Amino acid sequence: MVGISGLGGSGLDIDSIVTALVNADSAPKTAQLSRLETATTSKFSALGTLKGALSEFQTALAGLNDIKLFENRTASSSNTSSVTATATKNALPGSYSVVVNSLATSSKVASATVASTFESGAGEETFSVQLGSSGAVTEVKIAAGSDLASTRDQLNAALKEQGISANIVNNPSTGESRLVFSSTTTGAGNDIIVSGTGNLSALDADGTQALNSTDPASAGFITQSADAEFSIDGLVLHSKTNTVTDAIPEVTLSLAAVTEAGKTATVKVGQDTSGVTANIKKFVDAYNTLITTSNELTRVVSVGEGKEPVVGGLVGDATVRNLLSSVRNELVNPADQTGIRTLSDMGITTQKDGTLAIDDDKLKTALTDNFDSVGTFFTGDTGITGRLDSKVDGFVKNGGVLEQRMDGLQSTLTDIDNQKEDLNRRIESLQTRLYKQFNAMESLVTQLNQTSDRLTQSLEALPGFVKKDK
């Protein structure tokens, strides 16, 4: 409510008086609500930060608590331009010397040369195509009057299921062309066999396919199919494809090129220690983040004499103490197994500030000498990651300890907002009442002053009244 502007008949500054009275009445409650809101907001934010760090830690635990991580195998080659390798989880560790003598090849067959004006005969022509002497025969009927491109397209449509395709190769100097058949199937005995009659023929005059013709205009093989030849540790082996899956159990060799002299490929198969190492480091980093975060949230920092210290949002909080105590107890709890029993056996130790540090050399040695023991230490219901997860999950899960506390704090913040609204309404009512009272007083004083002035004027008008000098 707007008060009287300026000084009235009473000479009082009503606006200033009302403001002072209202402030005196509202200040204690306003300060109380402000302190409560600041403390509640700080604690709510701190719990959210702690929950985020716990969630990251739980994710790192899940990544390490995966038996498949310890089943992975790696296969490396010292000469990847010649051969590469992959391995399944059942592959046995080992080292192999591999030499590639020749790659598996597929068949290519060219037709006899034809002029650029080629057209198939007036009648329908038939090609018989098969892969190897015992392969299924596919008969392809070519429409009458088809040019070379149309003939190619009709052949491709019929032969795609066999992995055989046809294309055209042109001779720029003569304008003549050939139809070339190619196969995707490698290995000896998988040559393309083409027979047929007509204007375009892959046959000699006697009706047999020309395999070794010296006449460049005749039909014949461009390349014949052949097996790959390679050796493992000096044993000469053959494969119909360049992807070899049977030579070393659970290991696949991909032959890429003939091995140059003196560049024998060494293929090594072993456990995936790099993948395990990466996940262990993620676990340590996530734990360190949790410890650093909790330290910051429970820290009291002095900022100078006579000044209020900077206090973390969870100073003295029992939830943090209980959580960290249970986690730390599990970290030092030895596993009931031989080999790796504690984190320190892998070179993972606790520092003065509570964080963990890794001795990379010791970790590498542990993974090399006790890989399976490292796996059982971390994984399973009795593994350290499973035990740690059981300690953390009750705090971080939906409806868990932290969420319940944050819900309670949110309710407090909502109640503070409601109290602020109630306070504002009460202050507004008080201000209205005070202005009404002071305005009534000011109106009365004004009336009294006016009455006094009229009486003075009347008395001055009486006979014999002597006006005194002021």
Residue range 91-146, pLDDT digits in tens: 998 999 999 999 999 999 888 788 888 888 767 778 888 888 888 899 988 888 88
- CA dihedral sign of residues 132, 134, 136, 141: positive
**344: Cβ–Cβ under 8 A, 6 or more apart, which residues?**
none
Mean local confidence (pLDDT), 202-217 = 39
- Phi, psi (deg, nearest 5) at residue 240: -70, -20
Mean local confidence (pLDDT), 305-319 = 75
Q: Is 168 left (phi over 0), alpha (psi -120 to 50) or beta?
A: beta
What band does 421 get if pLDDT is binned at 50, 70 and 90? Answer: confident
> Quick check: 304 pLDDT over 70?
no
- CA dihedral sign of residues 299, 304, 309, 312: negative
> Quick check: 451 pLDDT over 90?
no
Mean local confidence (pLDDT), 51-56 = 93
Q: Is the distance from CB of 265 to CB of 259 less than 8 angstroms? A: yes
How far does CA 377 lie from the centroid of its chain? 26
What separation, in Å, do the N-terminal and C-terminal C-alpha atoms of the chain show?
41
Give per-residue pLDDT as tens, 350-385: 999 999 999 999 999 999 999 989 999 999 888 999
- At 283, is the secondary structure helix, strand, or coil? helix
Closest listed residue to residue 206, CA positions, set 214, 195, 216, 217: 195
Residue-by-residue DSSP string for 317-368: -HHHHHHHHHHHHHHH---SSSS--SGGGGTEEE-TTS-EEE-HHHHHHHHH
Q: 426 vs 60, which has greater pLDDT?
A: 60
What band does 61 get if pLDDT is binned at 50, 70 and 90? Answer: very high
List, in sequence order, every residue forming a beta bridge with 255; answer none if it has no partner: 83
Q: Is the distance from CB of 233 to CB of 247 less than 8 angstroms? A: no
Whether the model clears a pTM of 0.75, i.e. scores above it, the answer is no
What the block records as the tokens of 193 is 């066999």
Closest listed residue to residue 70, CA positions, set 249, 250, 280, 273: 273
